[in-house]
Structure 1
Amino acid sequence: MANSSEENKRIDDINDINEEDYVPYVPTKKRRQEKFQKLLSQRRIIEPQNNVEIDDEVEDTVKAGPKANVSLIDQAVEVKKQKMLEDSTKTDVEKKLEEEKAIMEAVAQKKLLASDRELAKGITYTKPMTTTWRPPRHIRELLPEEHDLIRQKYHILVDGEDIPPPIKHFRDMKFPPAILDYLKSKNIRRPTPIQIQGLPVVLSGRDMIGIAFTGSGKTLAFSLPLIMFALEEECKLPLLRGEGPIGLIVCPSRELARQTFDSICAAIEFLTRDSYNKLRPLLCIGGISMSDQWHTLSEGIHIVIATPGRLIDMLEKRKFNLDLCKFLCLDEADRMIDMGFEEDVRNIMSYFTNQRQTLLYSATMPKKIQDFARSALVKPVIVNVGRAGAANLDVIQEVEYVKQESKIVYLLECLQKTPPPVLIFAENKNDVDDIHEFLLLKGVEAVAIHGGKSQEEREFAISSFKEYKKDVLVASDVASKGLDFPDIQHVINYDMPKEIENYVHRIGRTGRSGKTGVATTFINMNCSEQILLDLKHLLKEAKQRVPPVLEVLEDPLKDLKGGCTFCGGLGHRISECPKLDAQRRQQLGNISRGGGGERGGGEY
């Protein structure tokens, strides 16, 4: 009964509701239509034919578009026909350039080359690092035109803001007498073009991209300033246990890291003899026991020279940190930040906690790599001595057609061209071992080096070759970048590499420091047409003799200036770039393996 009375009371309350307060339900579609009509009534519709304003009471509907009665499929067909009509009016060159532009945009790196902390917090640096070094007064007082004349004399191209002046003598760079004595002991009397401009730039604290041909003295251009910076910090406040480093140099191979470490140790030895504070460099590469350098780790490190794999391992294990590091140099930087190497570099950068001076050096650095590298630099200065990727003009390049089965026999004849030492390059490890065994059977004092050998074997081969205990070094491309063999007169390419960049680095092992060298390269039908065209253009650029077998190759780039914007090769465009194709295959391989590809950033 109680429930019945409550229900009757609810019914009476509903009946008492005023009909004027009742709001009926309006469907969503109708509400949208009414809202549209209300907005439409607030506009003035203007007829384009006679510019007469018509009140929306006269015309309260919107005229349909010109293609309102045309289906989307027909519209798509019409757009396609229009595009085909436009393409038919374009020349083949214009179509090619548009295609290349689309490819470059597709492969362009979108993520900035910076540490994860800086990317996450949006930290950007706008001002370059500052140092206490200044050029001498008589250099500063020279007019800009006089600086330009010096650059023109030494064929130095520069780009950037507030570029420090070039300096033609080491003594004007304010190096201490001990460093000048070290340079004299190496028979280095005057700076090379990359050092004339590069050393003042680095000493001023500026970020830099340095591009110069092989054997031009790039190592000194970054190692001497780093030694000076470390010495200054040590004099101000000596490093204690667990502190450091002040500077970091990253190299793509163990041999190059060892060579850089040895040269820095030699310079430090001259400073120590002259009663300067003792600097402690650390070599951080795979294949060596870090316990041998434990005394350096325990006392504080000033300079670290490393390959990416071992460096990341040491940072992850917190053997040292980069809290005080203000100097980062990537030697052979195009390899360091190229596809497959980028993530290792980014991983290393994530350990920096403050701004650092960043230097990138290489003999081959395509524009694509330069543009990407700028994202890690602050108002960089680009110093270019010659075209990026050009061959050393001090090397006489000889190209010979040799059948595959005759190459190893013809090798003995080529060894007679010049006295030892001679360097022989082969593309794969098996060929290196076969050539080495063949030379030993023929009584030639030879050693071999490739990535499959132990670190002890690799160091023995390099040291015995440099000390003239062995006449021939047979190597893979692991020895092609950065290694300095000052007395080599002859380099033999047993096979043509798959990328023209590797060819430039290989032949650059001779003709160093102003000396003349010879490079002999075997080619045959196994070589791709693209790499042979690259070689043909490289020979023409260096004013070398072009053999008939290359001269008869048809050049598809007659109407297009320049070469590949991706790798810098002169005989092909980016659409046929073998390096880009190889990287795409590597990416697809990593994807098919679930992203578990090999580490790309140099050696461990």
Structure 2
Amino acid sequence: MATQARARAEKRDNATLEDDLSLPENYTPYVPLHKRRAEKYSKLSAKKGGLDFGSGYAGSGSDQGTTRKPRNGSNDEDSDQNNSDDEITAPKTGPRSGVSLIEQSVEIRKAQFSAEEQKTDGQKALEEEAKILAAVAERKQLASAEEISKGIVYTDPIKTTWTPPRHVREMSEEQLAAIRSKYHIDADGENMPPVIKAFRDMKFPQPVMDYLKNKGIKMPTPIQMQGLPVALSGRDMIGIAFTGSGKTLSFTLPLVMRALEEETKMPLAKGEGPIGMIVCPSRELARQTYEGFVGIADMLHKGGYAQLKVLLCMGGINMQEQASIFHGGIHIVVATPGRLQDMLAKKKFNLDLCTYMCMDEADRMLDMGFEEEVRTILSYFKHQRQTILYSATMPKKIQDFARSALVQPVTVNVGRAGAANLDVIQEVEYVKQEAKIVYLLECLQKTPPPVLIFAENKNDVDDIQEYLLLKGVETVAIHGSKTQEEREYAINAFKSYQKDVLVATDVASKGLDFAEIHHVILFDMPKEIEDYVHRIGRTGRSGKTGIATTFINMNSSEQILLDLKHLLKEAKQRVPPVLEALEDPTEKYKEMGVAGGCGYCGGLGHRVTECPKLEQQQKTKNSGMSRPSERAGNEM
């Protein structure tokens, strides 16, 4: 038996040897998958400069000790048969597939941390502020719903027939730049219209020149030198200039000229118009602007030109009193947002022919919550319009937001946006809360009447008026809770010098022109520095000087006092010791090489990371509440 088994084994070995000898010459013995991959990676490593692509791949080399098995449980031979050579030699997950995601994440974080360490403190501060501004930026375009839905985008400004005189057109850019530099005019935009130093060169008719002469206006102010040519050229514009610098004429005269041109070409019929409109945040400002238009229109009519009809559209007045204007076409509308929206909804008039829209005190209007009303008004336009925005305080946030509605806008800035009028002497006094109303009598002795007193809330206005009346001072008051008749009586009596003192809330701080006021008293410091600039701007107008006295105490927030401190330094005014003693957090930013103030509200005494206005608006937005009663009192 053993002999037979040995014989069978020898026969099997001989057969195996014969099979081996019969193998083809090009036969390649089987190489395991992980070895083939290791060989492929070594070749790639040689091509890439010696980088070991396979060292981090599990099972890539023979020194790994173990081989990675396929997930489906098949062996290497099955995998080799089911996959092409390309799929085998090139891993789908990349050269670092053997490094876990956690390890890769750690490496990325280390790299980011290393890059972050190399940044300066100033760069880190600017990046943080940029993130905050981007988070609070308005995403919704300031345009009508129809334009947004249809994707209507205007690329070219409106064309007008006005052209500068030849001698102005022939001036070189260097000459124009020298004029702008002399009058501190900062103008930015494409195809900038020239700056013009005389009303005569702006081609106004003689009745308009007579109107200006009667008003004592001999030459344009810096904002008018550049603002009037821009508006007359049909360009969209953002105009920024300190209070009392003549912004109103910069947007009323171009509208008068456009309405006069349209009426001359083809008189408006009943139901047509307006040609243009001015939107104001308060009734008092709308009334003042309306009276200016009426004065110019009457002067033109006396000079033999067509009669221009102006409609005042605001809350608190009976529109039936102006029914005669609706009998013919309306050339110009001066309105507050709420009443204008109501009149358009009732189809009292339409904006089919309207090609000119100006928002006076635009930043304050948007800030007071009129944004939705403005969007609704824009939806009534049927075609492109020229849009002009004016204000004394225009933070960069509002400028960027407003540009979404403008076509190739021109920005005209005389001085820093939000800066105080240099013709106003600013005096800041520390007065205890209980002593303020008594100290008013002493402050009234600084200058002769008329004097304007601002208070933050309506109750203080009433208390101050009652106290001064008891002391024998002729005083009137206005605030949002008074009737329109009471408000108009107070304004007219004060302007006509029948009353010596006007006590008011912020309804009298925006744009109102009291030419002869030499003294403004701020009974309390406002909550926003922009309101302070507008309040003190009621004096020192049209080149005249004035005094502004502000009461501060422990009730004033530290942030607003820091803004006030920087504003006084900027205007080279005396800074009281109580403000000098305040620790200034912006000093650390100066040391880091970061200049400027808050990019959100424009305050100089803080950065956007500590902006009280932003904090308050976020609280209001989160609580779902509307802004304070200021809006309700001003408008509808």
The normalised TM-score by structure 2 is 0.84
Q: Which amino acid aligns with 2:635?
A: E
2:45 partner SS: coil
Q: Name the structure 2 match of 1:21.
A: none
- Alignment of 1:246 onto 2:275: yes
- Alignment of 1:212 onto 2:203: no
Q: Name the structure 1 match of 2:604.
A: 570
Q: Within 2, Cα distance between the matches of 1:199 and 1:46?
A: 75
Q: Is the 8 A contact 2:480 2:634 kept in 1?
A: no
Q: Within 1, Cα distance between the matches of 2:87 and 2:505?
A: 85
Matches within 5 A, 1:416-565: 416-558=445-587, 559=590, 560-565=594-599
Q: Name the structure 2 match of 1:121.
A: 150
Q: Is the 8 A contact 2:479 2:633 kept in 1?
A: no
- By how many angstroms is 1:77 displaced? 6.8
- Unaligned runs of 5+ residues in structure 2 are 1-39, 54-83
Deviates more, 1:81-90 or 1:473-482: 81-90
Matches within 5 A, 1:133-282: 133-282=162-311
- By how many angstroms is 1:110 displaced? 1.5
Q: Name the structure 1 match of 2:343.
A: 314
Of 408, 421, 428, which aligns to 1:399? 428
Q: Name the structure 2 match of 1:59.
A: 89
1:550 partner SS: helix
- By how many angstroms is 1:375 displaced? 1.1
Q: Which amino acid aligns with 1:51?
A: K
Q: Within 2, Cα distance between the matches of 1:382 and 1:473?
A: 35
- By how many angstroms is 1:584 displaced? 1.2
2:341 partner SS: helix
Q: Within 2, Cα distance between the matches of 1:62 and 1:556?
A: 54
Q: Within 2, Cα distance between the matches of 1:221 and 1:434?
A: 39
In structure 2, do the counterparts of structure 1 residues 50 and 131 end up closer, same or farther at CA, with 3 Å as the change threshold?
Answer: same
Q: Within 2, Cα distance between the matches of 1:474 and 1:601?
A: 15
Q: Is the 8 A contact 1:336 1:602 kept in 2?
A: no
In structure 2, do the counterparts of structure 1 residues 47 and 506 end up closer, same or farther at CA, with 3 Å as the change threshold?
Answer: farther
- By how many angstroms is 1:183 displaced? 0.6
Deviates more, 1:483-492 or 1:557-566: 557-566
Q: Is the 8 A contact 2:507 2:634 kept in 1?
A: no
In structure 2, do the counterparts of structure 1 residues 61 and 199 end up closer, same or farther at CA, with 3 Å as the change threshold?
Answer: closer
* CA shift digits 1:168-198 (9 cap, x unpaired): 1111111111001111111111110000111
Of 412, 415, 418, which aligns to 1:383? 412
Q: Which amino acid aligns with 1:580?
A: L
* CA shift digits 1:389-418 (9 cap, x unpaired): 000000000000111111111111000000
Q: Name the structure 1 match of 2:366.
A: 337
Q: Within 2, Cα distance between the matches of 1:106 and 1:344?
A: 24
Percent of pairs with identical residues: 67
Q: Which amino acid aligns with 2:501?
A: V
Q: Name the structure 2 match of 1:33.
A: none
Q: Which amino acid aligns with 2:414?
A: V
In structure 2, do the counterparts of structure 1 residues 69 and 294 end up closer, same or farther at CA, with 3 Å as the change threshold?
Answer: same
Matches within 5 A, 1:277-356: 277-338=306-367, 340-356=369-385
1:513 partner SS: coil
Q: Is the 8 A contact 2:480 2:630 kept in 1?
A: no
Q: Which amino acid aligns with 1:567?
A: C
Q: Name the structure 2 match of 1:49.
A: 45
Deviates more, 1:325-334 or 1:338-347: 338-347
For the pair shown, the structure with the greater C-alpha radius of gyration is 2
- By how many angstroms is 1:57 displaced? 6.8
Q: Is the 8 A contact 1:230 1:302 kept in 2?
A: yes
Q: Within 2, Cα distance between the matches of 1:151 and 1:297?
A: 43
1:56 partner SS: helix
Of 410, 415, 438, which aligns to 1:409? 438
- By how many angstroms is 1:82 displaced? 5.9
Q: Within 2, Cα distance between the matches of 1:279 and 1:199?
A: 20
* CA shift digits 1:46-74 (9 cap, x unpaired): 964223899527626546764766465x7
* CA shift digits 1:195-251 (9 cap, x unpaired): 011111111111111100000000000001101100110111111111100001000
Q: Which amino acid aligns with 2:614?
A: L
Q: Is the 8 A contact 2:357 2:386 kept in 1?
A: yes
Q: Which amino acid aligns with 1:49?
A: S
Q: Name the structure 2 match of 1:29.
A: none
Q: Is the 8 A contact 2:520 2:549 kept in 1?
A: yes
1:371 partner SS: helix
Deviates more, 1:570-579 or 1:389-398: 570-579
Q: Which amino acid aligns with 1:284?
A: C
Q: Which amino acid aligns with 1:165?
A: P
1:248 partner SS: strand
Q: Is the 8 A contact 1:335 1:341 kept in 2?
A: no
Q: Is the 8 A contact 2:480 2:633 kept in 1?
A: no
In structure 2, do the counterparts of structure 1 residues 599 and 122 end up closer, same or farther at CA, with 3 Å as the change threshold?
Answer: farther
Q: Which amino acid aligns with 1:210?
A: G
- By how many angstroms is 1:368 displaced? 1.3
Q: Name the structure 1 match of 2:620.
A: 586
In structure 2, do the counterparts of structure 1 residues 56 and 204 end up closer, same or farther at CA, with 3 Å as the change threshold?
Answer: same
In structure 2, do the counterparts of structure 1 residues 179 and 45 end up closer, same or farther at CA, with 3 Å as the change threshold?
Answer: farther
Q: Is the 8 A contact 1:421 1:472 kept in 2?
A: yes
Q: Within 2, Cα distance between the matches of 1:180 and 1:556?
A: 51
2:86 partner SS: coil
- By how many angstroms is 1:338 displaced? 3.6
* CA shift digits 1:471-497 (9 cap, x unpaired): 000000111010000000000000000
1:346 partner SS: helix
- By how many angstroms is 1:91 displaced? 4.1
Q: Is the 8 A contact 1:344 1:601 kept in 2?
A: no
- By how many angstroms is 1:598 displaced? 10
Q: Within 1, Cα distance between the matches of 2:269 and 2:536?
A: 44
Q: Which amino acid aligns with 1:573?
A: R
Q: Which amino acid aligns with 2:412?
A: V
Q: Which amino acid aligns with 1:426?
A: A
1:106 partner SS: helix
Q: Within 2, Cα distance between the matches of 1:58 and 1:118?
A: 56
Q: Is the 8 A contact 1:533 1:571 kept in 2?
A: yes
2:292 partner SS: helix
Q: Within 2, Cα distance between the matches of 1:289 and 1:204?
A: 36
Q: Name the structure 1 match of 2:141.
A: 112
Q: Within 1, Cα distance between the matches of 2:634 and 2:478?
A: 16
Q: Within 2, Cα distance between the matches of 1:501 and 1:598?
A: 15
- By how many angstroms is 1:370 displaced? 1.0
Q: Within 1, Cα distance between the matches of 2:87 and 2:355?
A: 73
Q: Is the 8 A contact 2:368 2:631 kept in 1?
A: no
* CA shift digits 1:116-157 (9 cap, x unpaired): 111111111111111111111111112121111111111111
Q: Which amino acid aligns with 2:180?
A: R
Q: Name the structure 2 match of 1:130.
A: 159
